[in-house]
Structure 1
Amino acid sequence: MVETAYALYLGITIGITIWVARTLSKNGEVFLVQCFGHNAQLARSTNHLLVVGFYLVNIGFITLTLSLGKEPVTYADAIRFLSGKVGLAVIVLGGMHFFNMGAIAHFGRKVNGWLTDGHPQVA
């Protein structure tokens, strides 16, 4: 029972992490290009760095939370165990997404403001 619950937890949360990272990377590149003054190379590089950081933080969080809480004994315990741990991981994923979007939007405004205020653009 315990091993199955842990395996399900790891499979579900790592699967969700990979799906979210791929989705954000694929759909976020257009946003990054706009934020970085249409510098596609900088946008792609930043996108890749964000994905790497996203994986590191989330997989680290997922593995750290393995040891938290009471191990399930019954099927009901296993459902509570999985819902609590998976729910917490999903909340952290969402929080990281909003933090990253806010940081990129803030940085993008600075870059776009600098590039459009009469200073020469760097090619």
Structure 2
Amino acid sequence: MEISKTILGYIIYLPIVLFLTLYVGKTLFKNSIIYMNDIFKNREELAAATNTLFKIGFYLLNIGFALLILKLSLHENSTQQLIEALSFKIGKYTIYLGIMLFIHLFLFFRGKKKSKKAISESYDH
């Protein structure tokens, strides 16, 4: 019994996007704890908890989006069409994941800036 190209596409697509999501998330949140500790001065427990909540939200949002765009529409059952469809779908997801990474970095830098501003204002009063 031959497996259809669409099912094969799902078997290829899902591990790739899950790996990308987990790799980017692990890297982002391993390094973002530094920013969280800076934002939440001397409150490491709060920084770690906030970082964990960001991480869970990141995974839920990105894995949810990957599943939402899962559908492969192959008009022919050809290998070429499967490769092109996977290339487009994984490429689109990778761009989305990169945008999400930069949004999180923006939020970390914004939080750091607000924290620094609040500290300088407390010294002024």
Q: TM-score, normalised by structure 2?
A: 0.84
Tell me which of 95, 100, 104 is aligned to 2:104. 100
Q: Which of 105, 109, 114 in structure 2 is aligned with 1:110?
A: 114
Question: How far did residue 23 of structure 1 move?
Answer: 1.0
Contact 1:37/1:112 (<8 A) preserved: no
Match of 1:26 among 27, 30, 34: 30
Q: Give the whole-Å Cα distance in 1 for the aligned partners of 2:115 and 2:29.
A: 20
Counterpart of 2:47 in structure 1 is: 43
The code of the aligned residue for 1:37 comes to K
What is the deviation of 1:27? Answer: 1.6
**2:67 is the counterpart of 1:63:** yes
Paired residues, what number? Answer: 118
Q: Aligned equivalents of 2:30 and 2:96: distance in 1? A: 20
Residue 38 of structure 1: how far off its partner (Å): 4.5
Query: For the pair shown, which has the larger CA radius of gyration, 1 or 2?
Result: 2
> Under a length normalisation based on structure 1, what TM-score does the superposition of the two structures give?
0.86
Residue 81 of structure 2 corresponds to: 77
Residue by residue over 1:76-118, the C-alpha shift from the partner in whole angstroms, topping out at 9 and shown as x without a partner, is: 1111111111111111111011111112211221122213433
CA contact (8 A) 2:37 2:44 kept: yes
Segments of 5+ residues of structure 2 without an aligned counterpart are: none
Structure 2 match to 1:10: 14
Q: Which runs of 5+ in 1 are unaligned?
A: none
CA distance in structure 1 between the aligned counterparts of 2:35 and 2:111, rounded to whole angstroms: 12
Cα distance change on mapping 1:5 and 1:113 into 2, 3 Å:
same
The alignment-based identity, stated in percent, is 31
Q: Aligned AA for 1:46?
A: T
The answer (yes or no) to whether the contact 2:40–2:46 under 8 Å persists in 1 is yes
What's the C-alpha RMSD, in Å, of the aligned pairs? 1.7
